[in-house]
Amino acid sequence: MKIADIRKSYERAELNEHASHADPMLQFDQWLHEAIKSEIPEPNAMTVATVGSNLRPSTRVVLIKGYDARGIVWYTNYDSRKGSELAGNPFAALQFHWVELERVVRIEGRVERVSAEESDEYFHSRPLDSRIGAWASPQSQVIPNRTLLVTNAAKFGAQFLLNPPRPPHWGGFRLVPDCWEFWQGRKSRLHDRLRYQQQADGWLRERLAP
Protein backbone atom coordinates (compact mmCIF):
# COMPACT_ATOMS: atom_id res chain seq x y z
CA MET A 1 0.00 0.00 0.00
CA LYS A 2 1.23 3.49 -0.85
CA ILE A 3 1.60 5.83 2.10
CA ALA A 4 -0.63 8.33 0.28
CA ASP A 5 -3.40 5.72 0.30
CA ILE A 6 -3.45 5.32 4.09
CA ARG A 7 -6.58 6.96 5.48
CA LYS A 8 -9.41 6.36 7.90
CA SER A 9 -12.90 7.66 8.43
CA TYR A 10 -13.46 9.53 11.70
CA GLU A 11 -16.86 8.67 13.13
CA ARG A 12 -16.56 8.30 16.91
CA ALA A 13 -17.99 11.58 18.20
CA GLU A 14 -18.86 15.20 17.50
CA LEU A 15 -18.05 18.59 19.00
CA ASN A 16 -20.50 21.46 18.88
CA GLU A 17 -20.98 24.82 20.46
CA HIS A 18 -24.00 23.80 22.51
CA ALA A 19 -22.45 20.73 24.17
CA SER A 20 -18.98 22.21 24.78
CA HIS A 21 -17.91 24.27 27.78
CA ALA A 22 -17.66 28.06 27.52
CA ASP A 23 -14.40 27.85 29.50
CA PRO A 24 -11.69 26.00 27.51
CA MET A 25 -9.98 24.72 30.65
CA LEU A 26 -13.18 22.91 31.60
CA GLN A 27 -13.41 21.45 28.10
CA PHE A 28 -9.79 20.31 28.36
CA ASP A 29 -10.41 18.80 31.79
CA GLN A 30 -13.36 16.82 30.42
CA TRP A 31 -11.44 15.51 27.40
CA LEU A 32 -8.33 14.63 29.40
CA HIS A 33 -10.36 12.66 31.94
CA GLU A 34 -12.16 10.87 29.12
CA ALA A 35 -8.77 9.99 27.59
CA ILE A 36 -7.53 8.65 30.94
CA LYS A 37 -10.74 6.69 31.53
CA SER A 38 -10.44 5.17 28.05
CA GLU A 39 -7.07 3.71 29.08
CA ILE A 40 -5.35 4.84 25.90
CA PRO A 41 -1.52 4.81 25.95
CA GLU A 42 0.00 7.83 27.70
CA PRO A 43 -2.97 10.20 27.65
CA ASN A 44 -0.75 12.70 29.51
CA ALA A 45 1.78 12.98 26.67
CA MET A 46 1.93 16.31 24.86
CA THR A 47 4.10 17.88 22.20
CA VAL A 48 5.81 21.16 23.13
CA ALA A 49 6.83 23.49 20.30
CA THR A 50 9.30 26.34 20.83
CA VAL A 51 11.18 28.73 18.54
CA GLY A 52 14.88 29.51 18.83
CA SER A 53 16.75 32.75 18.17
CA ASN A 54 17.40 31.51 14.62
CA LEU A 55 13.58 31.39 14.13
CA ARG A 56 13.66 27.61 13.63
CA PRO A 57 10.85 25.78 15.46
CA SER A 58 11.49 22.57 17.37
CA THR A 59 9.19 20.04 19.01
CA ARG A 60 9.49 17.31 21.60
CA VAL A 61 7.12 15.14 23.63
CA VAL A 62 6.86 15.71 27.38
CA LEU A 63 4.34 14.73 30.06
CA ILE A 64 1.84 17.15 31.57
CA LYS A 65 2.26 17.21 35.34
CA GLY A 66 -0.46 19.58 36.39
CA TYR A 67 -3.04 22.12 35.27
CA ASP A 68 -5.40 24.62 36.83
CA ALA A 69 -6.76 28.08 36.10
CA ARG A 70 -3.17 29.38 35.91
CA GLY A 71 -2.14 27.09 33.05
CA ILE A 72 -0.45 23.84 31.97
CA VAL A 73 2.67 22.60 33.82
CA TRP A 74 5.55 20.31 32.87
CA TYR A 75 9.07 19.81 34.24
CA THR A 76 12.43 19.68 32.52
CA ASN A 77 16.09 20.71 32.52
CA TYR A 78 16.23 24.50 32.18
CA ASP A 79 19.53 24.15 30.26
CA SER A 80 17.94 21.90 27.61
CA ARG A 81 17.18 23.15 24.12
CA LYS A 82 13.57 23.93 25.02
CA GLY A 83 14.68 25.68 28.20
CA SER A 84 17.18 27.82 26.33
CA GLU A 85 14.67 28.66 23.60
CA LEU A 86 12.01 29.62 26.14
CA ALA A 87 14.51 31.86 27.90
CA GLY A 88 14.91 33.82 24.67
CA ASN A 89 11.34 33.59 23.42
CA PRO A 90 8.86 32.80 26.22
CA PHE A 91 6.01 31.62 23.97
CA ALA A 92 5.15 28.04 23.09
CA ALA A 93 2.46 25.77 21.68
CA LEU A 94 1.27 22.46 23.12
CA GLN A 95 -0.56 19.64 21.40
CA PHE A 96 -2.35 16.58 22.74
CA HIS A 97 -3.24 13.89 20.19
CA TRP A 98 -5.56 11.19 21.47
CA VAL A 99 -5.60 9.00 18.38
CA GLU A 100 -8.06 6.42 19.67
CA LEU A 101 -10.60 9.13 20.50
CA GLU A 102 -9.97 10.97 17.21
CA ARG A 103 -9.23 14.16 19.14
CA VAL A 104 -6.56 16.86 19.17
CA VAL A 105 -6.14 19.79 21.56
CA ARG A 106 -3.83 22.68 20.66
CA ILE A 107 -2.85 25.32 23.24
CA GLU A 108 -0.81 28.49 22.73
CA GLY A 109 0.45 31.07 25.19
CA ARG A 110 3.21 32.64 27.21
CA VAL A 111 5.48 30.42 29.30
CA GLU A 112 6.83 31.17 32.76
CA ARG A 113 8.76 29.19 35.34
CA VAL A 114 6.79 27.77 38.24
CA SER A 115 7.88 28.72 41.74
CA ALA A 116 10.86 27.03 43.38
CA GLU A 117 8.46 25.60 45.96
CA GLU A 118 6.34 23.93 43.25
CA SER A 119 9.44 22.53 41.57
CA ASP A 120 10.78 21.22 44.88
CA GLU A 121 7.50 19.54 45.75
CA TYR A 122 7.25 17.74 42.42
CA PHE A 123 10.94 16.82 42.30
CA HIS A 124 10.79 15.10 45.69
CA SER A 125 7.73 13.11 44.60
CA ARG A 126 9.68 11.48 41.75
CA PRO A 127 11.27 8.02 41.97
CA LEU A 128 14.86 8.05 43.21
CA ASP A 129 16.28 6.97 39.84
CA SER A 130 14.54 9.91 38.14
CA ARG A 131 15.91 12.36 40.71
CA ILE A 132 19.43 11.04 40.18
CA GLY A 133 18.88 11.16 36.43
CA ALA A 134 18.15 14.87 36.61
CA TRP A 135 21.70 15.34 37.92
CA ALA A 136 23.32 12.76 35.63
CA SER A 137 22.11 14.00 32.24
CA PRO A 138 23.40 17.27 30.70
CA GLN A 139 20.24 17.38 28.60
CA SER A 140 20.58 18.41 24.93
CA GLN A 141 24.39 18.60 25.14
CA VAL A 142 26.66 16.44 22.95
CA ILE A 143 28.14 13.54 24.95
CA PRO A 144 30.77 11.00 23.85
CA ASN A 145 28.82 7.87 24.78
CA ARG A 146 26.25 6.34 27.12
CA THR A 147 28.99 5.47 29.58
CA LEU A 148 29.07 9.12 30.64
CA LEU A 149 25.45 8.94 31.77
CA VAL A 150 25.96 5.70 33.67
CA THR A 151 29.10 7.07 35.32
CA ASN A 152 27.35 10.30 36.28
CA ALA A 153 24.40 8.41 37.72
CA ALA A 154 26.71 6.28 39.86
CA LYS A 155 28.64 9.35 41.01
CA PHE A 156 25.60 11.35 42.03
CA GLY A 157 23.94 8.29 43.52
CA ALA A 158 26.94 7.79 45.80
CA GLN A 159 27.05 11.51 46.61
CA PHE A 160 23.38 12.02 47.47
CA LEU A 161 22.34 8.49 48.52
CA LEU A 162 18.56 8.53 49.10
CA ASN A 163 18.11 12.32 49.29
CA PRO A 164 19.25 14.11 46.13
CA PRO A 165 18.25 17.79 46.19
CA ARG A 166 16.62 19.40 43.20
CA PRO A 167 19.30 20.55 40.74
CA PRO A 168 19.33 24.33 40.28
CA HIS A 169 19.00 23.80 36.52
CA TRP A 170 15.84 21.67 36.81
CA GLY A 171 12.26 22.76 37.39
CA GLY A 172 8.82 23.47 36.03
CA PHE A 173 7.36 25.57 33.24
CA ARG A 174 3.79 26.80 33.08
CA LEU A 175 2.14 27.76 29.80
CA VAL A 176 -0.50 30.43 30.38
CA PRO A 177 -3.02 29.88 27.57
CA ASP A 178 -4.40 32.67 25.44
CA CYS A 179 -5.61 30.44 22.59
CA TRP A 180 -7.07 26.92 22.54
CA GLU A 181 -8.32 24.72 19.71
CA PHE A 182 -10.31 21.51 20.12
CA TRP A 183 -10.47 19.20 17.11
CA GLN A 184 -12.82 16.25 16.79
CA GLY A 185 -12.51 14.03 13.73
CA ARG A 186 -15.69 13.69 11.67
CA LYS A 187 -16.78 11.75 8.60
CA SER A 188 -15.87 12.96 5.10
CA ARG A 189 -13.09 15.15 6.54
CA LEU A 190 -15.72 17.64 7.74
CA HIS A 191 -14.06 17.79 11.15
CA ASP A 192 -15.25 19.86 14.10
CA ARG A 193 -12.85 22.63 15.18
CA LEU A 194 -13.63 25.03 18.02
CA ARG A 195 -11.17 27.81 18.81
CA TYR A 196 -11.16 29.81 22.04
CA GLN A 197 -9.34 33.14 22.09
CA GLN A 198 -8.85 35.18 25.23
CA GLN A 199 -10.63 38.52 25.28
CA ALA A 200 -10.74 41.27 27.89
CA ASP A 201 -14.08 39.97 29.18
CA GLY A 202 -13.52 36.22 28.82
CA TRP A 203 -13.17 33.66 26.05
CA LEU A 204 -14.39 34.04 22.48
CA ARG A 205 -15.45 30.65 21.08
CA GLU A 206 -15.54 30.29 17.30
CA ARG A 207 -15.92 27.43 14.83
CA LEU A 208 -13.16 27.02 12.25
CA ALA A 209 -13.48 25.31 8.90
CA PRO A 210 -11.61 21.99 8.82
Distance CA 37, CA 34 (A): 5
Residue of 7, 189, 205, 207 marked catalytic: 189
Which residues sit opposite 49 in a β-bridge?
59, 93
95: Cβ contacts below 8 Å, ≥ 6 apart: 46, 47, 49, 104, 105, 106, 107
Specify whether 189 is catalytic.
Answer: yes
Question: Cβ(116)–Cβ(171) under 8 Å?
Answer: yes
SS (H, E, C) 84-134: HHHHHCCEEEEEEEEHHHCEEEEEEEEEEECCHHHHHHHHCCCCHHHHHHH
Phi/psi for 135 (5° steps) reads: -80, -35
Question: Which contacts (CB < 8 Å, 24+ apart) does range 50-53 have?
Answer: 50/81, 50/82, 50/85, 50/86, 50/89, 50/92, 51/85, 51/89, 51/91, 52/81, 52/84, 52/85, 52/88, 52/89, 53/85, 53/88, 53/89
Which are the catalytic amino acids?
A: 189
